[in-house]
Each structure stands twice: as structure tokens, then as C-alpha cells.
Amino acid sequence: MITVVGSGRVGATTAAMLGLMGLDKKIVLIDIIKGLPQGEALDLNHMSSILGLDVYYYGSNDYADMKGSDLVIVTAGLARKPGMTREQLLEQNANIVWSIGKDVAKHAPDSVVILTTNPLDAMVYVMWKATGFPRERIVGFSGVLDGGRLAFYTAQKLGVSPSAIIPVVLGQHGESMFPVPSRSYLYGIPLDKLLKPEDYKEVVDETVKAGARITELRGFSSNWAPGAGVALMAKAVKRDEKRALVASVVLRGEYGVDGLPVEVPLILGRGGAEKVLEIELSPDEKNKLAQSVEAIRKLINSLPNQYK
């Protein structure tokens, strides 16, 4: 069974894609707003009926209904509004994530948790502390989105399919993220060999500002790309794919970092983040990653003590 906590745009989109992928026969939607998860579940069940899907959606306002879930996807939290950074959401969403984490630990103690709540890396830390789970079982959705955006904007420059690009984005999921051109490839060719420095800078700027741009244009943050990315990660867990992708996980000495969640390449399977992949970086790239990690450290240091 899969539980999706949060029935807003990202949660509902994710739930729909989970069903379309056929990842489980039962998907539970939980939200504190009365009627919202029940209404979304009913609509999704009608979708399943029309498409002939073998999946049942159940909406609830009770966290106890996640019992038996082997995968919990947390999309709950306040969303960004126009002009708001991910970092400004810190304290408000920390309280939400901490409370959810305690319920996950109580009702789904053996689950893998995929988290989307912003500011992402800090919320991964809060969820890790709240559940007491091993670091492998708390994974932040970030790099799939950042990488997908980097691949899209790069492909636009090069006139190729985004699927031909293997993107690598390290560090923070936020304004200080570090896309790595020397370790991002078009069929084995590093992007810094294909793009002029000014073109790559433009691609990076577009990647970093993509979320804010979407929010500015339509008045609320993205949901289709996050829903697709989370479903891709859920598939890796449920089917034990051992899939290589970029996500946020608490590091234990990798990249010289200990005890902080950082966006890095990893192997995602049934056990969660089963292996962190350390890629070789130049001295300049190590410095840029360190700056991005420092932004994460500052956010976590500014958390109220009860969340540390």
C-alpha cells in the first residue's frame, strides 16, 4: 500500500500518476482538510474505472489509515506564493513535517518516505529526526526535478531531446543548487564541451529560477513535473529498480559532509537510498558544492531546537 500525505495539487497529481503506473492496488490519500482527500479519491476512482486500472483510492483525515504502507509520500505543507523563496517557508513547514513524521513512525514504521515539502533539504532533516528512521529510508525529491529542468533547457539550446541529456545537480534544492556541467552529459560528451560558458550560465539561471517563474506565471507552484518525478522515484522503490538518480539524503561522510541532507546521485531501490554515488569533482567544483552545502547548514541551524 502507498500513502500520499497531502491532497493538494502535488499530492493529487502524484496519486494519479502512481495509479497510471500501476504501482499498487491501494493508494491512500491523507489530509487534515475535511472532505478534500475523500473528494480527490472519489474522482481518482472514477478515473480508474474509465481507464480500467486495477487500483483503489481511499481518502482519509486519519493518519492511522496509513497503517501497512511500505511507501509514504509526503507532499503536505504550505506552498510557495509569488515572490516567496523556498527558504521563507522553513519554520511553518517544519512544524507540519515534524508532526507527520511522528505519525509515520507510529503507523508505518517500516516504510520508505519520499518527501517533497520545501525547503526540501531542511525538511528531509526534520523528517529524519522526527521518525528516527535510518537515513536510507528518508529521501527528498529534488534532483529529479532540478535535473529534468536542466535537461530541458539544455536540450532547447542544443536542439536535441531532453531524454538524451544525463543531468547532474548537487547541493541544495533551492537558490544555491549547483548544476555540474563537467559531469552532465549528452551521450558521453560533457555539457561544458558542448555549450559556451555564457549559454551554460543561461541554462543554469533558467533551471534555478524555473520554480519561481512557474509560480509567477500562474499564481501557484508547479505540480505536474513534481508529480511525475515523485512517481518515478516511487516506481524505483516499489519495483526495487536500483535506479540511479539525484535526490536529497543525509550524508555520512560522502563528499566530506556528515549529518546533513544534500542533493547527490544515489541508487534508489526497495530499501530507499541504498548507495550514495560519489563523483569526482575539480577543486573549483568542490568549492561550489561546499557553498551550496553551507546554505543547507544555515537553514538547518536556524530551525527551532525541538526539530534538531
Q: Radius of gyration of the chain from Cα atoms?
A: 19
Q: Give the separation between CA 91 and CA 69, rounded to whole angstroms.
A: 28
Q: Give the separation between CA 31 and CA 191, rounded to whole angstroms.
A: 42
Task: Identify whether 107 is a catalytic site residue.
Answer: no
CA distances from 63 to 1, 107, 169 (A): 14, 7, 34
Query: Which residue of the set 173, 183, 238, 288 is catalytic?
Result: 173
How many CB atoms are closer than 10 A to CB 47? Answer: 16
CB 250 within 8 A of CB 138: yes
Strand boundaries in the chain, DSSP class E = 2-5, 26-30, 56-60, 71-74, 112-115, 138-140, 165-166, 169-170, 178-179, 185-186, 189-190, 243-252, 258-269, 272-276
Query: Which residues are marked as active site?
Result: 173
